[in-house]
Amino acid sequence: MPHGLTAGVSLKPQHFADALQASAPGLWFEVHAENYMAEGGPRLAGLAAVAAAFPISLHGVGLSLAADEPPDAAHLAAWARLVERFQPALVSEHLAWSQRRGVYAPDLLPFPRTGEALDRIVGNVARLQDALGRQVLVENPALYLPLKGHEMAETDFLAELVRRAACGLLVDVNNAFVSARNLGYGAEAYLDALPADAIGEIHLAGHAPDPGLGEAMLIDSHDAPVAEPVWRLYERLIARVGPRPTLIERDDKLPPFAALIAERDRAHQVLTRTPAHV
Amino acid sequence: MSELSRFQEAFSDALAGELAPLAPWIDGEGAEARFAVHRNTIARGCAEALADQFPTVRRALGAARMAAGAIAFSRQHPPASPSLMTYGAGFPDWLASFPPAADLPWLAGLARIDWARRDVLFAADRPPLGPETFAALAPAAYATTAAALHPATALLWFDDATPSLWRALQADDAPAEIELAARPEGLLLLRPGLEVAHRVLGPGAHAFLSACRAGLSLAGAGERALLAEPGLPLSQTFTDLIAAGAFACVRPAAALVP
């Protein structure tokens, strides 16, 4: 795997001190880039200390790559400053939109997968990669709302995006599981169809049933441990594509750091018992 | 308009109001409940950002009233930037006209201070200027030299004792009853290192720092301070502010403003 990364943990400021004490082969940390777009202060200083000791990954939630307009110029510039300063091992964003016409919605919104949308996203990913001077990984979304007007399956859409924009994929196995359940298709077949060579990172997270609709509608809540069916999909994916840097994502109901490390160790075991595919 | 633009326009309209504009793209039954996931995620993201930025307002209002206020604000003033750390500059003024807060006239003032604290927290890092620099100034230089405030400082003034109220609400054993004295007060928020500190200011110290911020000479700032508060122990006030880390550098004073 690149940079010797095996399994990592998403990092919040509450866990900076624990992270600095951690030691495990292949351990790395991922943060949301938007939370570090400051001139100074303790949060940036904490990340700098962690980045001096471990590889880090910058994960974006606000570049709105699927919007019908280019990414916000000021936001791109802030991204470029962070990448310049922290030299992250991995950089990633989402196949979604969240900002257009000067309004930002803190969510990852769906869209009909048309040829026109693909052209737009290819252009936006190219702008991002040019601004950062490096390849980025694009993450498959968690979907809730069945839409009309799709011209391509999501796996074909992502494969075309990778081919045309020369980006990589961040495969969120929990998103694949949640979307398959919510929209009524098979998660195994979905993951089997993704182009193996393009996968540069994997996300694992917990989900929760919708408070109103129950198990028929799963929410990508990032507030619970990774579910067993998601672990099974992950093991199947790794057996197919070989080991890839894998992140335990947790954004809410933050458990003690040791609990995240225990989940991370489980992913590390999966990765290190799987030989690299040549 | 392109198909993607039409879709995103309709989706944005549906987020703000009814699902109807999105009907051409809806596939299947039960879309309203599914679409609500997006409405909820957005409302929650805005409310959490504002709760982070305005912890004292949240403490004074309680979590439920804070969330209600934050969601009402975010509907009228959605974020413009994906960096939610910068979201909420308009919240203090908006709170002043928020009907459920009509009986809490001090709330907007607390919000102003919380926002200033946020600015100080994320401002540029810089070592503060120590007393040696000032000790080395010849007496005549006080008339031509200004002391620049540290980049991680905020200076505020209130016609009532909102700064003392804000300070009382920072403590873990914050008072259950909110009392606001009529005495005017200033507040200095500053972060010489990694932690934000604050000090409540009388009129003299506030006038001194305001004059420094405007680029007046140290002598000129001292005159302003004594004018605002005739009994002020000027030398001790200056020494305390230096020790607190309020200054970044010395530079030639700006022309005197009458």
Tens-digit pLDDT profile for residues B220-248: 999 999 999 999 999 999 999 999 999 99
Tell me if A100 and B8 make a contact (CB, 8 A cut-off): yes
ipTM of this predicted structure: 0.95
Residues B67 and B129 in one domain: no
pLDDT at A119: 98
Nearest by CB: A116 against B4, B30, B84: B4
Q: Which residues of A31-40 are buried (b: 16+ CB within 10 A; e: fewer)?
A: bbbbbbbbeb
Size of interface A-B (CB pairs under 8 A): 141
CA distance linking residue A178 with residue B254, whole number of Å? 62
Closest chain A residue to the Cα of B5, Cα to Cα: A68
Residues A188-237: tens digit of each pLDDT? 999 999 999 999 999 999 999 999 999 999 999 999 999 999 999 999 99
Fold of A2-272: TIM Barrel (3.20.20)
B50 and B12 assigned to the same domain: yes
The mean-pLDDT minimum among A82-86, A147-151, A210-214 falls in: A210-214
Domain co-membership, B230 together with B113: no
8 Å CB contact between B191 and B126 = no
Query: Which chain B residues are closer than 8 Å to A40 by Cβ?
Result: 122-126, 152
- How far A274 CA sits from the closest chain B CA (Å)? 37
Is residue B115 domain-shared with residue B130, that is, in the same domain?
Answer: no
Q: Does A80 touch chain B (CB under 8 A)?
A: no
Residue after which a domain boundary falls, among B122, B144, B171: B122
Q: Give the chain A residue whose CA is nearest to the CA of B120.
A: A41
Task: State whether B224 and B150 are in the same domain.
Answer: yes
Q: Which of A38, A103, A117 sits opposite B122 (nearest CB)?
A: A38
Share above pLDDT 90 across residues of chain A, in percent, rounded to a whole number? 96
The residues in B 123-142 lying below 8 A from A, measured between CB atoms, are 123-126
* Cβ contact, residue pair B45, A107, below 8 Å: yes
Are B203 and B76 contained in the same domain? Answer: no
Q: Quick: pLDDT tens for B165-175.
A: 999 999 877 77
Q: Is the CB of B71 inside 8 Å of chain A's CB atoms?
A: no
Which of B104, B122, B140 is where one domain is finished?
A: B122
Q: Which 124-183 residues of chain A touch chain B by CB within 8 A?
A: 144-149, 182
Chain A: closest CA distance from residue B52 (Å): 12
Asked if B209 contacts B188 with a C-beta cutoff of 8 angstroms, the reply is yes
B4-33 pLDDT, tens digit per residue, is 999 999 999 999 999 999 999 999 888 999
Mark which of B71, B106, B122 sits at the end of a domain.
B122
Under an 8 A CB cutoff, do A112 and B3 touch? Answer: yes
All residues of chain A having their beta carbon less than 8 Å from the beta carbon of residue B151 are 39
Residues B130, B252, single domain; the answer is yes
Clarify whether residues B105 and B134 are in a common domain. no
Quick one: B130 and B240 in the same domain?
yes
The H-assigned helical ranges of A3-137 are 16-21, 42-53, 73-86, 115-132
Rounded CA separation A121/B192 (Å): 44
- Give the count of domains, chain B: 2
Pair (B66, B90) in one structural domain? yes
Measured distance CA(B218)–CA(A231) in Å, rounded: 66
Q: What is the pLDDT of residue A150?
A: 98
Cβ of B85 and A120 within 8 Å?
no
Which residues from A are below 8 Å from B35, CB to CB? 144-145
pLDDT of residue B258: 47
Is the pLDDT at A2 greater than 60, yes or no? no
Q: Is A35 on the interface with B (CB under 8 A)?
A: yes
Domain that holds residue B191: 123-258
pLDDT digits (tens, 9 = 90+) for B172-212: 777 767 788 889 999 999 999 999 999 999 999 999 999 99
Share of chain B above pLDDT 90, in %: 88
pLDDT for A33 equals 98
Nearest residue on chain A to B25, judged by CA atoms?
A148
